[in-house]
Amino acid sequence: MTNDIATIEPDEGLKTWGWLSYLLHLVVAVAAVLPGAQASITLLVIALVIDMVKRGDAVNTWQASHFSWRIRTVLWASLLYLVTAPLWFLLLVPGWIAWTLISVWFLYRIVGGMVRMNANRAVE
């Protein structure tokens, strides 16, 4: 066995934490895309805390990229929602369009990460 990051297998507990985080992200992402659906921001915060706490355990494994991927996804989405929030107050339609696009992007990133994790592959 080499020290290549792609070949080092994390323990199953770490993978379980990763799946739990992805599922929490997925619930929030789907709710963000579906009109009228609401998911608690608490679910997103719990997933983010899981990722931040467990990321250190994944160092030198293909799973490390997944923890970083989810953290970056949440941080970028949060920033984009904040930056586009004034559009809701100035013009309702551009705000709705911007938040819909951000929500679809968030869902795309989460599903893409889940697909790669299911294949035991790192995310780029």
pLDDT in tens, 98-113: 989 999 999 999 999 9
Supply the pLDDT for residue 9.
52
Mean pLDDT of 69-92: 91
> Is 123 within the bounds of a domain?
no
The Cα–Cα gap between 56 and 19 comes to 16
**pLDDT score of 86 more than 60:** yes
**Cα(123)–Cα(67) distance, integer angstroms:** 10
Tell me, yes or no, whether 18 lies in a domain. yes
- Please check whether residue 5 lies inside any domain of the structure: no
In a domain, 66, yes or no: yes
CA–CA separation, 110 and 116 (whole Å): 10
pTM metric for this prediction: 0.83
Chain mean pLDDT for the chain: 88
Q: Domain for residue 7, yes or no? A: no
In a domain, 74, yes or no: yes
Burial class (CB in 10 A: 0-12, 13-18, 19+), 67: buried
By residue range, what is the domain housing residue 109?
12-118
